[in-house]
Chain A
Amino acid sequence: MAEDAFELKAAFTYNFVKFTQWPQTRTEQKSAWNICYFGKQYRDSFMALSKKKIGNQLIAPKELTETNQVAQCDAIFIDSNYRELTRRLFLAVDDRAILTVSDISGFTAQGGMIEIIEQDQRLYFKVNQQVLEKSGLTISSQVLKLAVEVKR
């Protein structure tokens, strides 16, 4: 699972961005989708997304090392080794329209938007609707139906 899990989590993140209804101000912008990630071991998996498109725009993966770099991102995947950064990450995102995704256990309960769970060699996810609503993002109802837990 380990190596495959990186690719799957990157693919999950891509699909969450794809099935999110973004504010008009963002969709009118003619710029690439900045999908950012914390975790060097995810480099290959996220770089592989750069061939994909959402709408007419390409994906631009970016590796982050500090929370002061998040303003440029549309979505952020934060790997579970970076739990210590979440406090500052939540302050950095601060209700902005930035989709936060992580495999950190407890991520949605603590203020993240989507939490990926690994169980019995499969991936599931939880969604925190409250945080999504505050930031003006809407996840497609088809995706919500697949979530194991939705916090409203």
Chain B
Amino acid sequence: MTALKLLDAPSAALWGANAVNGVINIITKHSADTLGGYAELGAGDYEQGFIGARYGTKLTDNASTRMYIKGNRRDSLEHNSKDLDSSLVDASSIVDKSNDWRHLQFGGRVDIQLENDTSLTLSSDYYTSKMNQASNIASMDEPQYRTFYSEELETEGFNLLSRYTKALSANSEYTLQTYYDFADRDEELYHLRTNTVDIDFQHQLIVGQDHNIVWGLGYRYISDNLTSMSILTSSEPGSTQTHLWSAFVSDEIALMDDALWLTLASRFEHNDYTGFEVQPNIRLMWQVDTKNSVWTSIARAIRTPSRVETNLIVNALNIPPSDVSPTIKVFVVGNDDYESEEIISYEMGYRFMPMNSLSFDTAIFFNDYDKLRSTSEGTTDFSTYPDYVSQYTYFENQYDGYNYGVELSSMWTVTDLLQLRINYSYIHNEFDDVLGQNTKAPEQMVSSIIDWQPLTTLGVNFVWRFIDSTESLTGEGTRYKTIDSYKGVDIALNWAVSPDIMLSAYGKNLFYPAHLEYEAESILLPYRVGYSYFVKASINF
């Protein structure tokens, strides 16, 4: 990997719908930068074993390639029945609760310089995973009217990508990228296979001294196939085809040379669910002097509906019968008219760099959310009375809300051999009601990181963090429970035995007891994260 770009802000103007909370942009290294071989082998208690190898070589003066393979085996996390809703503990006792998994992945890429000004990259990856999981779904089994089961689920995926880049002049360059992606996830509840074809054209041009323009066009075709258990049915055929058309333009305007930049950007999309969508962004960046810079941004982004929200029917819950009522089957029903959720994000940041070795970043944000997912009280079907009655609730976009917060990060390079970082974030949420997301974001998070190289052959990395308490939905989405705050320490030691051989030892989540970090969907069990360690040997050849 050559760069990991984290944009923790709406990035829809460039990346399209659903880049609401941010984007993780992983840029892998050019194969000419990873010539030769690398292999690693490791084992531990949670990371039970992993192996990886990579080899890169020149094919000709103008072409290079890289291949890799990696596999790992991860142990189960710890499930504690105290974390489960007490009414479900008995029913859950019969199932195997391990959630260990195995993963194998391999792939490669070829980079070819066709001309001085033209390059071509081809890449491909394949992966396969097997994971154990325990789930629970609504059923007619007394007394809980929920059934637990455990299974080994399988996922598999494959992709093929080609990227052709040609410079037209010193100020202009275009890229044409095409990829095919296949993904398959097979578990008892559903089996989803997805084929995606994506074509993306992008053109960058510098106009005059002041305009850095990027514009692009894209088309994505997704064909999927869904089969599922009877608690999950669809009003549409199991196989659907969707088309996504997009165009975007971004102009970074240098209002004052090397000091003030204004960026105007927008993306225009047409998707099959909600039609035409516009996602603009305006951003201003002011480099006050060599030590101070400030920026501000306003962006609109959307989250387009998922299949569940538009056309699936889920039997989410069965309410046991009582003296006054028969069994009630509660269905959540997708809605054709379901709209995109919307966010308008206002941000402001300040970066202070008093010395090359010291920097402080602060950002404040306010996010205004609208048309968030809600469910309506729908119709009741008495036709099956007295066996049971069916209560239908429909997805709607009735909720809204906002959050605001602050993020602080600082970095101090004390010497070439010692670097300190401290990060803090605060977020406050105000939303109408229970949201689709099970666990709320913790209000406060603190982390401090020390990178120290006491000897030329020895590196030490130390991380301490605090994560605030938060709340998670429980009792089939009817009430909140507290997830306690927690602290953790990670320590890594790297010893370069020789320039090409490295031995490492890692301890994670040390010194504090195992704890819940969050809860996923309510059909899955909660798990605790505790301390773990692993050792690793790696070699360059």
Q: Do B33 and A68 touch (CB < 8 A)?
A: no
Inter-chain CA distance A68–B30, complex, in Å, is 24
Q: Do A120 and B499 touch (CB < 8 A)?
A: yes
6 tightest A-B CB contacts, nearest first: A92-B170, A87-B167, A111-B116, A109-B61, A105-B32, A90-B116
Residue A25 CB within 8 A of the other chain: no
Expressed in whole angstroms, the minimum distance between the Cβ of A44 and any Cβ of chain B is 7
Q: Chain A contact residues: over half helix, strand or loop, or mixed? A: helix
Inter-chain CA distance A105–B58, complex, in Å, is 10
- The listed residue (B35, B169, B356) touching A105 by CB distance below 8 A is B35
A-B contact pairs, 6 of them (CB 8 A): A90-B116, A90-B167, A91-B167, A94-B170, A109-B61, A120-B499
Q: Do A110 and B116 touch (CB < 8 A)?
A: yes
A37-82 CB contacts (< 8 Å) to partner B:
44, 66-68, 70, 80-81
Chain A residue nearest to B2 (CB atoms) is A81
Residue B239 CB within 8 A of the other chain: no
A93-121 CB contacts (< 8 Å) to partner B:
94, 104-106, 109-111, 120-121
Q: Do A80 and B33 touch (CB < 8 A)?
A: yes
Residue B451 CB within 8 A of the other chain: no
Contacting residues, chain B, for A88 (C-beta < 8 A): 117, 167, 169-173
Q: Do A110 and B62 touch (CB < 8 A)?
A: yes
- The listed residue (A3, A44, A70, A110) touching B113 by CB distance below 8 A is A110
Contacting residues, chain A, for B502 (C-beta < 8 A): none
Residue B64 CB within 8 A of the other chain: yes
Interface on B for A, CB 8 Å cutoff? Answer: 2, 30, 32-33, 35, 58, 61-62, 64, 113, 116-119, 165-173, 206, 209, 212, 356, 416, 499
Contacting residues, chain A, for B113 (C-beta < 8 A): 106, 109-110
Residue A26 CB within 8 A of the other chain: no
- The listed residue (B62, B117, B206) touching A109 by CB distance below 8 A is B62
Q: Do B61 and A83 touch (CB < 8 A)?
A: no
Chain A residue nearest to B60 (CB atoms) is A109
Contacting residues, chain B, for A111 (C-beta < 8 A): 116
Inter-chain CA distance A120–B416, complex, in Å, is 20
Given contacts A87-B119, A90-B117, contact A68 B170 (CB under 8 A): yes
- The listed residue (A68, A87, A92, A109) touching B166 by CB distance below 8 A is A87
Inter-chain CA distance A67–B117, complex, in Å, is 13
Contacting residues, chain B, for A80 (C-beta < 8 A): 33
Given contacts A91-B170, A109-B62, A110-B116, contact A44 B165 (CB under 8 A): no
